[in-house]
Structure 1
Amino acid sequence: MGNSSSAHKISAQDKAILDMKNQRDKLHQYQKRITVITDREKEIAREWLKKGEEKKAKLALRRKKYQESLLAKTDAQLAQLEVLTTDIEFALVQKDVLFGLQQGTAVLKEIHKEMGGIENVEKLLGESAEAQAYQQEISEMLANRMSNQDEDEVEDELEALASEISGDKLPTAPTNKIELDEEAKVQLQRERAQRRERERAEEQSAQPMLA
C-alpha cells in the first residue's frame, strides 16, 4: 500500500502544470464573456459621442482598453509559465513558476472584479447621481493603471469612432501612426499626455464640489 500511495503522489511540477491549466481555462472563459462587455462599452462610447460628450465616451473606451490589456498580459504570462513548467530543469525555475502563478491568480481576480456584470457597464451611460459616482470611481481607478501607449490607443480609437459617426470615412487629421513621422508622433504623444494631465487635475479639483 505504501508503494501505491507514493505512485499517486502529485509532484510540484504536476501541480504547477495543473494550476496553470486551470488559470488558462479561466482566462479563456473571461475572454468569451468580456467580448459582450467590451462591445457594449464601445457602443456606449458611440452614444456619448453622438450627444457631444467626448469625455464620457473616452471613459468608456478607456475601461474597455484596460480590460483588454489585462487579458492580453495574463495570456502572455500564462504562455511563458507553460514553457517554464515543461522545462526539464523545472527545479531551477520552480520558485519563478510558483510566483508567476500567484500573480496570475491575483490578476484573474482583478479581471473578474473589473468585468462585473452588464449592469455596471450600463452605468457608464447613466446620468443619475449613482451613475456619475460610478463613472468618477472608474476614472480614478484607471488614472494610474494604464500605460501611455494604452492611452494613446484609446485616443486613436476615439478619433476613429468620432470620424465614423460624422460620416467622414477619410482621415481628416494626420493622427494615423503609420502616416506620422517620428517627430510628429512624439509631438502628438506629448500633447495628448499634457491634455490628460490637465483633465486629471480638473477632475481632482472638482471632487470636493461633488462631495
Structure 2
Amino acid sequence: MGNTTSSNKISAQDKAILDMKVQRDKLHQYQKRITVITNRETEIARECLRQGNKSKALLALRRKKYQESLLAKTDQQLAQLEALTSDVEFALVQKDVVFGLQQGTSVLKEIHKEMGGLEKVELILGESQEARAYQEEINEMLGGKMSNHDEDEVEDELDALEREVNGPAVLPNAPDGVLRSEVLPDAPTETLAQKAKRRQQERAAKERPSDPIAA
C-alpha cells in the first residue's frame, strides 16, 4: 500500500512539472513570435510621432507593454511553481500548482486572442471606421489591466521616442549647425516625484466621466 501511495504521488508530481514545462515552452514560442509584432508596434509609434499623433503612439506602446508584461509575469510565475513543486512536499502545494496551471492556461488563451497578428497592429495607424473601432477596443481592454509602474515605463519610452524622432531643436536665426542646446541653458526638468504626480493627475482626468450638463 505504501509503495502504491508513493508511486501515485510521484506520478502526480511528475505530471504537474511536465505540464508547467509545456506551458513555459509555449510561452517562449509566443515570446519569439511576439517580438516581430512588438518591433512593429515600436515603429508604428515612431510613425505616429512623426505625424504629430501622440495619442496613437501611446496606444501602440501600451499594447506592446501589455503583451510583454503578460508573457514575463506568467513565465516568472510558472518558474516559481516549478521550483516549488520540485523542492517542497508535493501534497502541500498541489492545490497551488493546479491553480497556477489554470492561470497559465488562461493567460496563454488571452495572449493568443489579443495578439492578433501584424494585420491588427496596422489598424493603429488607420483612420477608417474599423481602425477607430479597434483603437477604442484596445483602449478599453487596457484600461485597468496595466499597473502604474507599467504605464510609467510606457510614458518614459514615449518620451525617449519623441526625442529620437524630433531630434535636437535648432535655434531660429542662429548660425548654421548651431543647436538650441548649444546656445540656451537646459530648462529645469521635473523631479521623479513631480513627474509621477503629473501622470497620475493626467490618468485621473482621462478616467473621469465628462460632465453631461457642460455646454
**TM-score, with structure 2 as normaliser:** 0.82
The verdict on how the C-alpha distance between 1:88 and 1:136 changes in structure 2, with shifts beyond 3 A counting, is closer
> How many Å apart are 1:137 and its aligned residue?
0.5
Q: Which residue of 2 aligns with 1:197?
A: 204
The verdict on how the C-alpha distance between 1:9 and 1:72 changes in structure 2, with shifts beyond 3 A counting, is closer
> How many Å apart are 1:130 and its aligned residue?
0.5
Aligned to 1:86, what secondary structure does the other structure show?
helix
Q: Which residue of 2 aligns with 1:149?
A: 149
Q: Which residue of 2 aligns with 1:65?
A: 65
* Distance in 1 (alpha carbons) for counterparts of 2:88 and 2:188: 54
The percent of aligned pairs where both chains have the same amino acid is 69
The verdict on how the C-alpha distance between 1:21 and 1:77 changes in structure 2, with shifts beyond 3 A counting, is same
Deviates more, 1:72-81 or 1:8-17: 8-17
* Distance in 2 (alpha carbons) for counterparts of 1:88 and 1:111: 30
> 1:18-167 maps to which residues of 2 (within 5 A)?
18-167=18-167
> How many Å apart are 1:190 and its aligned residue?
1.2
* Distance in 1 (alpha carbons) for counterparts of 2:69 and 2:193: 23
Aligned-CA RMSD value: 2.3
**Paired residue for 1:185, among 187, 192, 212?**
192
Q: Which residue of 1 aligns with 2:176?
A: none
* Distance in 2 (alpha carbons) for counterparts of 1:54 and 1:172: 22
Aligned to 2:168, what secondary structure does the other structure show?
coil
* Distance in 2 (alpha carbons) for counterparts of 1:143 and 1:158: 18
> How many Å apart are 1:205 and its aligned residue?
4.6
**TM-score, with structure 1 as normaliser:** 0.83
In structure 2, list runs of 5 or more residues that go unmatched: 1-6, 170-180
Q: Which residue of 2 aligns with 1:209?
A: none
> How many Å apart are 1:88 and its aligned residue?
4.6
* Distance in 2 (alpha carbons) for counterparts of 1:172 and 1:38: 33
Deviates more, 1:161-170 or 1:55-64: 161-170
Aligned residues: 190
The amino acid of 1:43's aligned partner reads: E
Is contact 2:13-2:90 (8 Å) kept? Answer: yes
* Distance in 1 (alpha carbons) for counterparts of 2:89 and 2:136: 49
Q: Which residue of 2 aligns with 1:13?
A: 13
* Distance in 1 (alpha carbons) for counterparts of 2:74 and 2:118: 22
* Distance in 2 (alpha carbons) for counterparts of 1:8 and 1:147: 41
Q: Which residue of 2 aligns with 1:180?
A: none
The amino acid of 2:198's aligned partner reads: E
Q: What is the CA deviation profile of residues 107-146 of structure 1, one whole-angstrom value per residue up to 9, with x for unaligned ones?
A: 1111111111111111111110100010001001111100
* Distance in 1 (alpha carbons) for counterparts of 2:187 and 2:35: 30
> How many Å apart are 1:200 and its aligned residue?
3.5
Is contact 2:63-2:138 (8 Å) kept? Answer: yes
Aligned to 1:52, what secondary structure does the other structure show?
coil
> How many Å apart are 1:93 and its aligned residue?
0.9
* Distance in 2 (alpha carbons) for counterparts of 1:41 and 1:152: 18
* Distance in 1 (alpha carbons) for counterparts of 2:86 and 2:95: 14
Higher-Rg structure is 2
Q: What is the CA deviation profile of residues 125-168 of structure 1, one whole-angstrom value per residue up to 9, with x for unaligned ones?
A: 11101000100010011111000011111110000000001123
